[in-house]
């Protein structure tokens, strides 16, 4: 397995904690049945969950992959090879702007998910710069794959003789096919 160099470790905006706290509180408020949970959420459970979630967020860009993990109790880890990344787009809405956050959506080739995204990164600090680094790393990786892997052959290596034998075999096969 090839060595991977760390290009950038993403930082997440601490306001994600407030975003999570407020989003879940809103859901609890809108669902009448969960209003009793809202009281527990506001009295401390919510801030604790948001802090644990924030501390578990990790995203790193290496020379070959984009890696993301989240969750404390229900951990989710994703690794996307750079060659599969098709596009990175930003999602903004009024709620995210209120918290000064953006979502960076990673779209990949051959994605079976109907939403069209393999990964959604919420609240990366300097999301534009991170996006540019991912795209540059992807381009560098693809350029590296296009470089010739084998050394150029010398004329004295017997290449000409091997090619003549291959040509003769093909001509013999062609002759057999036209006869039969």
Q: Are 105 and 91 in contact (CB under 8 A)?
A: yes
Alpha carbon distance 119, 109 (integer Å): 12
pLDDT in tens, 31-84: 888 888 999 999 999 999 999 999 999 999 999 999 999 998 899 999 999 999
> Of 24, 82, 31, 85, whose CA–CA distance to 53 is shortest?
24
Per residue in 104-124, pLDDT (tens digit) is 999 987 665 555 457 899 999
Report the distance separating Cα 159 and Cα 166, nearest Å: 11
pTM: 0.71
Burial of residue 121 (number of CB atoms within 10 Å: 0-12, 13-18, 19+): buried
Q: What is the pLDDT of residue 113?
A: 56
pLDDT confidence of 1, banded at 50, 70, 90? very low
Assess whether pLDDT exceeds 50 at residue 155: yes
CATH of 6-146, one of 2.40.50, 2.60.40, 2.30.29, 1.10.8: 2.30.29
């Amino acid at each position: 397995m090839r060595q991977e160099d760390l290009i950038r470790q993403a930082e997440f905006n601490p306001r994600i904690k407030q975003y999570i706290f407020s989003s879940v509180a809103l859901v609890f408020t809108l669902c009448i049945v969960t209003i009793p949970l809202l009281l527990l959420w506001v009295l401390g459970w919510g801030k604790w969950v948001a802090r644990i979630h924030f501390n578990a967020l990790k995203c790193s860009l290496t020379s070959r992959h984009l890696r993301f993990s989240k969750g404390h109790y229900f951990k989710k880890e994703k690794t996307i090879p750079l060659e599969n990344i098709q596009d990175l787009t930003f999602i903004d809405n009024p709620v995210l702007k209120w918290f000064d956050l953006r979502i960076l959506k990673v779209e990949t080739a051959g994605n079976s998910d109907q939403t069209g995204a393999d990964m959604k990164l919420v609240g990366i600090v300097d999301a534009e710069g991170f996006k540019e680094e991912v795209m540059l790393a992807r381009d560098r990786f693809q350029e590296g794959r296009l470089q010739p892997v084998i050394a150029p052959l010398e004329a004295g290596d017997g290449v000409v003789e091997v090619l003549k034998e291959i040509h003769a075999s093909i001509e013999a096969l062609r002759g057999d096919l036209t006869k039969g």
